[in-house]
Amino acid sequence: MNAFNQKISEIGVVPVIKLNHPERDAADLGRALCAGGVPVAEITFRATGADIAIKLMKEANSDMIVGAGTVTRTEQIDAVIAAGGEFIVTPGFDPELVQYAQEKSIPIFPGCTTASEYHQALKYNLEVIKFFPAEQSGGLAKIKALSAPFPMFHVMPTGGISLKNLKEYLSSPVIAACGGSYMVTADLIDNQKWDEITELCKKSREIVKEARA
């Protein structure tokens, strides 16, 4: 993997965040994640103002890797870049978005859960692809099966990942990192439970280290 993908892989978990009040919560949430040893965030466009959240989180936590998820349009990629975002995640595989992101020199992790989508990703020289929704699409068993004909990919499963199955996923060499929202639920963020978020991140990092020992 290239240096950027390797940095994310070393962290091992990527919080997938829907931020309803970016002006209020982005900076503090970033600090909570960093305090827990998880200096990375995927801010999704499932809530308005994702680009604002990216900008505010990155400004307050300069060492963080902050990117965008649920990206479905090229205009959103432009907004992410303007906000200082560092990567793009898409729910599915859209060749137009992959090509556009590569033209703009921003890493993109498109959603791929079938052999046909893996085949398309191969044409764009991608190293890391998203597998979403992971548990509902066959989970680790399917990821391992697809890695047989496509050993060149590392995979970032998202969807149904929790502290209960995190170690199982990360123990596989196919897995680059796991995306999850269990440490950044709506309850935790909207009620500003920063200490609880930090503790969940610390537990996640312990599992990362155990899985890769």
Pairwise CA distance, residues 112 & 115, whole Å: 8
10 catalytic per annotation: no
* Structural domains of the chain, with CATH: 3-211 (3.20.20.70)
Q: Give the model confidence (pLDDT) of 155-165 as tens digits.
A: 999 999 999 99
Q: Give the model confidence (pLDDT) of 21-75 as tens digits.
A: 999 999 999 999 999 999 999 999 999 999 999 999 999 999 999 999 999 999 9
The token duo for 4 is 């950027």
Pairwise CA distance, residues 155 & 133, whole Å: 12
- Active-site residue identified among 18, 55, 58, 130: 130
210 catalytic per annotation: no
- Active-site residue identified among 18, 42, 58, 86: 42
